[in-house]
Amino acid sequence: MSLLVLEALFCFAFIPLSHSADSLIESTCQQTPYYDFCIYTLQSDPRSSTMGLPGLARVAGNGLNDTATDNLDLVSGLLGSTNNASLDKALKVCIGSYNTIIKVDVPGAIEAALRNNPNLGIDYTRDAAKQVDTCEKSFGENKIESPISGSNTAAYELIVILQSIVTIIL
Ligand SMILES: *[C@@H]1O[C@H](CO)[C@@H](O)[C@H](O)[C@H]1NC(C)=O
Ligand SMILES: *[C@@H]1O[C@H](CO)[C@@H](O)[C@H](O)[C@H]1NC(C)=O
């Protein structure tokens, strides 16, 4: 009986310690609205368990970059295969949005986080969120249902994750 109690105490005391390498990732992701997606994204880099917050911001930024690149490819593919003028118009807006995210917002946010300038990083993530919003709304403005709303949502959630991490640095 007392052995069991001791064993229980032992486990209680030492299990959290044995997971301490990932505790920054866990505590960081708990401060984002998308815990599972955050863990999945940060663990995509095998070195993330030894990183500080600026390094984690870079990993999240790389994840956003990958998704933004996928979305840009998707939009380019759709653009090449439509002759619907309204859809064409909206997709062109999205090309601009994702080019800005890839060329300006992601590198800007990563660099700002690494240089310990979280306010600037937050400005870049706010712009990225605005870009996704502009892309998604362009379909409605052209009276078509968005063919990429799931992809836009994934990008948006990654932006929120990145922004949450940069905000913790603040
Ligand atoms: C983001 O992806 C593009 C390809 O779309 C690549 O050229 C660029 O180097 C990537 N940026 C970062 C910060 O990894
Ligand atoms: C473009 O597609 C939308 C949605 O499918 C449709 O409502 C609209 O009539 C189309 N426009 C043209 C010019 O074909």
Of 81, 144, 145, 148, the one to substitute when testing ligand 2's pocket (max ligand atoms within 8 A of C-beta) is 144
For the Cβ of 76 lying below 6 angstroms from any atom of ligand 1, the answer is no
Q: What is the rounded average pLDDT of the residues 62-87?
A: 98
Mean pLDDT confidence for 113-134: 97
- Residue 134 in tokens: 């502009």
Give the predicted TM-score (pTM) of the model: 0.87
Confidence at residue 12, expressed as pLDDT on a 0 to 100 scale: 46
DSSP single-letter state for residue 117 = -
Q: Using alpha carbons, select from 155, 152, 133, 128 the residue that is nearest to residue 41.
A: 155
User: In angstroms, what is the span from residue 125 Cα to ligand 1's centroid?
Assistant: 16
Q: Where are the domains of the chain?
A: 25-169
Using an 8 Å Cβ cutoff, are 64 and 38 in contact?
no
User: Please, are residues 99 and 135 in contact by the beta-carbon 8 Å criterion?
Assistant: no
User: For residue 11, what pLDDT is reported?
Assistant: 43
* 25-169 CATH: 1.20.140.40
Ligand nearest to the CA of 146: 2
pLDDT > 70 in the chain, percent: 88
d(CA 121, CA 107) in angstroms, rounded, equals: 10
152 pLDDT band (50/70/90 cuts)? Answer: very high
Ligand 1 pocket check: which of 59, 65, 67, 76 to mutate, most ligand atoms within 8 Å of Cβ? 65
Check the CA dihedral 84-85-90-91 and report its sign. Answer: positive
Asked if 41 contacts 63 with a C-beta cutoff of 8 angstroms, the reply is yes
Q: The tokens 């937050």 sit on which residue?
A: 122
65 touches ligand 1 (CB under 6 Å): yes
Q: Tell which atom from ligand 1 comes closest to the C-alpha of 107.
A: 13
Q: Each residue of 16-42: pLDDT tens digit?
A: 433 444 799 999 999 999 999 999 999
Mean pLDDT lowest among 12-21, 74-83, 86-95, 124-133: 12-21
The span from the CA of 144 to the CA of 78, in Å, is: 14
Q: How far apart are the first and last CA of the chain?
A: 49
State in Å: Cα 81 to ligand 1 middle: 25
Ligand 2 pocket (Cβ < 6 Å) reads 84-87, 144
CB 24 within 8 A of CB 56: yes
**Cβ-contact 64, 160 below 8 angstroms:** no
